[in-house]
Amino acid sequence: MGGATGSLQKLEEKAEEIFLLWRRKAESPELGFCRVSWNLLAATSATRDTMRVNGLRLPQLTLFCPRLVAEPNPIGSYRCNVHRTICHHALRPSRRVAAPVPAHLELRRGAKTTSKLKLKDLPQGALKLEPYNEGGDDAPRYPAVVQGHRNNMQKFKNCVVLTRVGSFYELYFEQAEDLAPLLNLKLASKKTSAGPVPMAGFPFYQLDRFLKSLVQDLNKYVAISEEFANAAEDKPRLGGLMFDRRVARIITPGTLIDEKFMDPSENNFLLALYIDVPSLEAQFKQNDGASSRLHALTSASPRVGMSWLDLSTGDFYTQSITAQMLPSAIARIGAREILVDQNLQDLIGPELQLLVGQDHRLITFFPFPDKIAPMSQWSSVLEAPVAGNAIDSFTSEEVGAGYSLLEYIRVQLQGLNMKLQPPRRRHLDESMGIDRNSLRGLEILETARGGLGKGSLLHAVRRTSTKSGARLLRDRLTSPSTSLQVINDRLDLVSAFSQDEELRDTITQLLKRSYDATRLVQKFTLGRGEPDDLICLSRAIEASKGIRQVLARAGNGGSDDASTPDSTSFKHTLASMADRLYLDGASVLANQIMDAIDEEGLLQKQRVEDDTAAEAAALAHEVAMNEGVKGEVEELPKKVRTKNSDRSGKEAEEQVALDTWIMRRSASSTLERLHGQLEQLQNEQVDLTQRIRGQGAKITQESLEELGVTRSVSSTKSTRSFYLPAWTALGLKMDQVKLQIRQEEQLIFENLRRQVILHLVKIRRNAAVMDELDVACSFAALAREQQMVRPVLNSGTSHKIVGGRHPTVKLGLEEQGRPFVSNDCFLGGQERIWLITGPNMAGKSTFLRQNALITILAQVGSFVPVAYAEIGIVDQIFSRIGAADDLFRDQSTFMVEMLETAAILKQATPRSFVIMDEVGRGTTPEDGTAVSFACLHHLHYRSKSRTLFATHFHSLVDMTDHFEALGTYCTDVKETASGSFSFVHRLRKGVNRESHALKVARLAGLPPEVIENAARVREGRMNLPSPEEREGDRAASEAA
């Protein structure tokens, strides 16, 4: 029993130690605990059998130990580094509460005392040991930076994590291995106690470049983990770490703010789609017999709430549509990222990809909030609350989409404050509908082949002076107005600038001096503005002030120029534009900015930063060039040498870098006082320097004592350094004053930033007026340049065009030195449909497109390329031009053509404008003719739309001769006696039953024998070959 008694005493001592540690836990809740089976602590089974608590034999007891180091192994059990044994940890509670120590628990030790415990106060029973991976006792851990990066990768699983480490952003683990080759980065390996870790990185100033590759080119989400300095008092608690690294922002294609790679001429919209899941499931049950869910989705047409915003400008919109209209709406908005409820991913995820993914836009499935907050609670993220009467106009789907969008941004920006414009609801009937096929077929934004900007309508008409004006022009071209009042107001402004060239040039010059105020002010609302942004904003305000003065003078008839329009309506238009510019507070803000910021100092600071970045880039290039060279470590230069490497020049450059101030001394009284103190200290520095240099040639013990030198600091063969208290004290005083100047400059800058936010609404409203003026001046310049005229618009259904020209084809022909043949078009009344025949290459497709584009330009508010135009307002434009198969969606050319035709026939109204080119060409002539006739019949008797219908099925002319509202027109080919020919591009009334396909084939360069064979087949002179002729053809083929 002696051995057992000794073991029991040891166990009592261990129990006392454990419970003392338990008491520590009550004071330190951050300590975790694990349970240790008693049989792993006891020396022998006899000890376990003789242990009694409250007179009861305890066969197996469970005690607690502090969980100091415990990491899960691959199987799920843990190893505790305190007892060197396996510990099984219960899951931590959601709220960490310290376990109290029982008050009746006695742990006294002495010669005649024993430990007294109550059994009910201890955990009962044995814990089952789980399997453990027999590795080393001490599980290796990654360094703090690498472990933090690993934790972020697990937290943000769908993101590429970039961690800031000093002057670099770094990737680790499998992301470094996967992305380093794609980003053209060198893959390295970081040695850690847990083994080598793959890593790659790039300098911090190249962040925008790599974000472009990741976000724009690779459609990746990027989580950026930034460095935040720890307070001195927190460093001991954090293990002496100088920085805390945490994700400050998640960047996706739709949440860009001010990245340099953004296209300033386009909006960067993030779009949210809200569909009520229960109602959608109910509709699917009703359409259970449908061929597919995609068909059910488009045929059931559930209401879809759309909300889209541009974080870089603060523009915020909503609209309610049907699922069938989704592809066209998304193409019109041009969203970079589409947000969909995660609950819809399993329900209609693949169908949504097919429906909206044709333009390769990124779709993000995000868990939408269960409870949708009303618009009255959105004020914290809006520049102004939504008016009460306006709130009632938004549908529940629009509110759901808008709130889900705000929640997504809150998560991605990690709680960053923002001030958006109040949401504006777009009604379907306030703008012309242009479906996705028409946007592509009419080449409004980009060419159909290659997707290039040059050759598009936008490229042909753009003459804007500002980037924000270009964004407004794009928006108008994709959403032309259907309001006669709005269109005529725009045309009045264009007319004023078209007739007064001097006024237009003055406004244009002022606009060119302006900046993108909308994006500048949005940067400040997000806390990202810089001093140079304040300068740009001040100049934009000054430009708007100058424009207001010019408009007010022109509106009041104060100009002496004889060409100034004296029309009352024009003067009223100019005066109203001037009145919309609010400059009271904004002008004061501009003056404050210019009085506070030192532009010369700011430029000097930017030059120093550019030089520093250039040196870093040169050094990185030097490292790359010497990579793999033997002895590279010893031979690499410690810095990049410059031409001016003398010591005095270097000292001067460093001094400039240290003493560059961005605020004027007069910006505040405190700054004035601090600069005075700094000048005084600098004068003392000069005096002390002269005294030292004056005695530098005859240094003796006596002269050193006079200077206050008390000891030598260091020495070399040629130099010796001394400690000079006066010099040290002076340097400390100068550093302190400089720090105070920096702090005061930051206070002034923050005050200016607050002033910008206070004037946020006025600045944004002024910027909107400036954009309207920019677009109007652009259209006026285009009208004078291309001899365009003002269209006449009415509420009827006529379409009268005299001398119409295609706005982009005409420019292309002029570059080649070729003339463009204009054409007339009169639709409505007795001839609501034109059936057009004629040869290939004679201009039928160009004629169709030009009339659609003229209508779009007219309702945008632009002059049009015609001699005269009278157009009834069009609610929708549809085009069926060209076709190509869609192998990804398993759709043939004819299937694509029929899908587009079906959409037109279902949606066209009597106020629509339809152009259809060679419908049915993708199948047999008989079937194609039948389909074409059926389409014409539907358009004539059901849709009753204004229609231009081009075809090569000449029998349609005879089949439709009883259509009372259909006229036939054609183009021709002019032939000469010598056999040459030319196309006559002007349309005439009548029918041309010759397509002249062989002439076009000859122009394309087909071999003569092919043309000859085709001619014989066409004339019926070619009989089936005899067996001898077939054998001769086979022999000729083998010889070839």
Same domain for 477 and 418: no
Q: Cα 639 to chain center, whole Å?
A: 38
Model confidence band, residue 921 (pLDDT cutoffs 50, 70, 90): confident
Q: Return the CATH number at 521.
A: 1.10.1420.10
Residues 314/757, Cβ–Cβ less than 8 Å:
no
Structural domain includes residue 717: no
- For residue 143, what is the DSSP state? -
Tell me, letter by letter, the H, E, C secondary structure of 688-730. HHHHHHHHHHHCCHHHHHHHCCCEEEEECCCCEEEECHHHHHH
pLDDT exceeds cutoff 80 at 425: yes
Two structure tokens written together for 766: 């002024």
Q: Tens digit of pLDDT for each residue in 816-834?
A: 878 888 999 999 888 999 9
pLDDT exceeds cutoff 90 at 138: no
Residue 792 pLDDT: 96
Residue 299 pLDDT: 64
Cα–Cα distance measured from residue 365 to residue 340, given in angstroms and rounded to the nearest whole number:
5
Q: Which residue has the higher pLDDT, 383 or 616?
A: 383
Cα–Cα distance measured from residue 745 to residue 757, given in angstroms and rounded to the nearest whole number:
19
Q: Tens digit of pLDDT for each residue in 293-351?
A: 666 666 656 789 999 999 999 999 999 998 888 888 999 999 999 999 998 888 888 87
The angle formed by the CA atoms of residues 837, 843 and 845, to the nearest 5 degrees, is: 80
Nearest Cα to Cα of residue 832 among 802, 797, 801: 797
Same domain for 334 and 275: yes
Q: Tens digit of pLDDT for each residue in 1011-1028?
A: 888 888 877 755 656 666
pLDDT exceeds cutoff 90 at 175: yes
Q: Cα 777 to chain center, whole Å?
A: 29
Question: Quick count: other Cβ atoms within 10 Å of Cβ 504?
Answer: 21
Calculate helix-pair angle for 599-625, 531-555, nearest 10 degrees.
Answer: 130
Which helix (H) or strand (E) segment is 159 a member of?
A: strand 159-165
Same domain for 394 and 289: yes
Cα–Cα distance measured from residue 605 to residue 599, given in angstroms and rounded to the nearest whole number:
10
Cα–Cα distance measured from residue 255 to residue 221, given in angstroms and rounded to the nearest whole number:
10
Structural domain includes residue 438: no
**Cα separations in angstroms, 589 against 538, 582, 583, 642, 746:** 8, 12, 10, 42, 17
Which helix (H) or strand (E) segment is 354 a member of?
A: helix 345-356
Q: Which residue has the higher pLDDT, 110 or 965?
A: 965
Reported in sequence order, the residue ranges of 732-858 that DSSP labels E, i.e. its strands, are 792-794, 799-804, 823-827, 833-837
Same domain for 943 and 812: yes
Residue 434: phi and psi, rounded to 5, are -125, 110
pLDDT exceeds cutoff 60 at 289: no
Model confidence band, residue 399 (pLDDT cutoffs 50, 70, 90): very high
Q: Which of 420-429, 628-637, 980-989 has the lowest mean pLDDT?
A: 628-637
Q: Tens digit of pLDDT for each residue in 429-446?
A: 999 999 988 998 999 998
Model confidence band, residue 462 (pLDDT cutoffs 50, 70, 90): very high
Nearest Cα to Cα of residue 935 among 914, 896, 905, 895: 905
Structural domain includes residue 641: no
Percent of the chain at pLDDT exceeding 90: 43
Same domain for 403 and 276: yes
Cα–Cα distance measured from residue 642 to residue 611, given in angstroms and rounded to the nearest whole number:
11
Rounded average pLDDT over 414-436? 90
Q: Which residue has the higher pLDDT, 695 or 685?
A: 685
Q: How many CA atoms lie within 13 A of 554 on its CB side?
A: 32
Residues 187/180, Cβ–Cβ less than 8 Å:
yes
pLDDT exceeds cutoff 70 at 848: yes
- For residue 535, what is the DSSP state? H
* First vs last C-alpha separation in the chain: 110
Radius of gyration for the chain, computed over Cα atoms and rounded to the nearest angstrom? 40
Same domain for 216 and 101: no
Q: In which domain, by residue range, is 414 found?
A: 269-426
How many helices (H) and strands (E) in the chain? Answer: 36, 31
Same domain for 196 and 89: no
Same domain for 1024 and 945: no
Same domain for 164 and 278: no
Q: Is the dihedral of CA 470, 472, 476, 478 positive or negative?
A: positive
**DSSP β-ladder status, 799-804 and 868-872:** antiparallel
Question: Quick count: other Cβ atoms within 10 Å of Cβ 1016?
Answer: 11
Question: Quick count: other Cβ atoms within 10 Å of Cβ 458?
Answer: 20
Two structure tokens written together for 481: 């107005």
Which helix (H) or strand (E) segment is 57 a member of?
A: strand 56-57
Last residue of a domain, one of 786, 813, 848: 786
Residue 900 pLDDT: 87
Cα–Cα distance measured from residue 613 to residue 620, given in angstroms and rounded to the nearest whole number:
10
Q: Which of 249-263, 386-400, 460-474, 555-569 has the lowest mean pLDDT?
A: 555-569
Q: Is the dihedral of CA 117, 123, 128, 130 positive or negative?
A: negative
CA dihedral of residues 979, 984, 987, 991 (deg, nearest 10): 10
Cα–Cα distance measured from residue 993 to residue 955, given in angstroms and rounded to the nearest whole number:
9
Q: Which residue has the higher pLDDT, 524 or 65?
A: 524
Two structure tokens written together for 255: 């949440």
pLDDT exceeds cutoff 50 at 1038: yes
Model confidence band, residue 52 (pLDDT cutoffs 50, 70, 90): very low
Residue 1024 pLDDT: 58
Laid out side by side, the sheet with 243-251 consists of 188-190, 197-203, 168-172, 159-165, 221-229, 243-251
Last residue of a domain, one of 731, 762, 786: 786
Structural domain includes residue 673: no
pLDDT exceeds cutoff 70 at 26: no
Residue 896 pLDDT: 81
Beta pairing partners, 802: 868
**DSSP β-ladder status, 197-203 and 188-190:** antiparallel
Q: Which residue has the higher pLDDT, 982 or 744?
A: 744
Q: Which of 277-286, 312-321, 456-465, 648-657 has the lowest mean pLDDT?
A: 648-657
Beta pairing partners, 800: 826, 870
pLDDT exceeds cutoff 60 at 23: no
Q: Cα 310 to chain center, whole Å?
A: 8
Q: Which residue has the higher pLDDT, 99 or 176?
A: 176
Alpha helical stretches, state H, 373-516? 388-391, 396-412, 436-441, 457-461, 467-478, 484-499, 501-512
Top-ranked range on mean pLDDT: pick from 591-605, 815-829, 856-870, 873-887: 856-870
Q: Which residue has the higher pLDDT, 39 or 499?
A: 499
Q: pTM of the predicted model, to two decimals?
A: 0.78
Question: Quick count: other Cβ atoms within 10 Å of Cβ 364?
Answer: 18
Q: Which residue has the higher pLDDT, 622 or 438?
A: 438
- For residue 314, what is the DSSP state? T
Rounded average pLDDT over 724-730? 82
Q: Which residue has the higher pLDDT, 728 or 695?
A: 728
Residue 48 pLDDT: 36
Residue 1039 pLDDT: 65
Question: Which letter, b or e, does each residue of 677-708 get, where b requires 16 or more Cβ atoms within 10 Å of its Cβ?
Answer: ebeebeeeeeeeeeebeeeeeeeeeeebeebe
Residues 234/399, Cβ–Cβ less than 8 Å:
no
Structural domain includes residue 456: no
Q: How many CA atoms lie within 13 A of 435 on its CB side?
A: 23
Cα–Cα distance measured from residue 220 to residue 252, given in angstroms and rounded to the nearest whole number:
7
Alpha helical stretches, state H, 28-86? 38-41, 45-50
What would the DSSP string read from start to end of 371-391? Answer: SPPPGGG-GGGBSSPPPHHHH
Structural domain includes residue 699: no
Residues 302/323, Cβ–Cβ less than 8 Å:
yes
The angle formed by the CA atoms of residues 519, 521 and 524, to the nearest 5 degrees, is: 110
Model confidence band, residue 1004 (pLDDT cutoffs 50, 70, 90): confident
| Mean pLDDT for all residues in the chain | 79
Rounded average pLDDT over 687-695? 74
Q: Which residue has the higher pLDDT, 79 or 975?
A: 975
Top-ranked range on mean pLDDT: pick from 19-33, 223-237, 701-715, 832-846: 832-846
Total domain count, the chain:
6
The amino acid occupying position 912 is S
Residue 30 pLDDT: 38
Residue 533 pLDDT: 92
Same domain for 1011 and 977: no
Last residue of a domain, one of 763, 786, 809: 786
Reported in sequence order, the residue ranges of 934-980 that DSSP labels E, i.e. its strands, are 946-950, 966-975
Q: Tens digit of pLDDT for each residue in 643-667?
A: 444 443 344 344 544 578 989 999 9
Q: Tens digit of pLDDT for each residue in 776-792?
A: 999 999 999 999 999 99
Structural domain includes residue 24: yes
Residues 182/218, Cβ–Cβ less than 8 Å:
yes
Burial of 745 (0-12, 13-18, 19+ CB in 10 A): buried
Residues 946/832, Cβ–Cβ less than 8 Å:
yes
Structural domain includes residue 1029: yes
Q: Return the CATH number at 987.
A: 3.40.50.300
Nearest Cα to Cα of residue 803 among 793, 818, 792, 788: 788
Burial of 565 (0-12, 13-18, 19+ CB in 10 A): buried
Cα–Cα distance measured from residue 605 to residue 600, given in angstroms and rounded to the nearest whole number:
9
**Cα separations in angstroms, 210 against 150, 220, 268:** 21, 11, 18
Same domain for 400 and 284: yes
Q: Is the dihedral of CA 769, 771, 774, 775 positive or negative?
A: negative
Q: Return the CATH number at 150.
A: 3.40.1170.10
Q: Tens digit of pLDDT for each residue in 523-565?
A: 999 888 899 999 999 999 999 999 999 999 988 865 444 444 4
Same domain for 992 and 1011: no
Q: Return the CATH number at 327.
A: 3.30.420.110
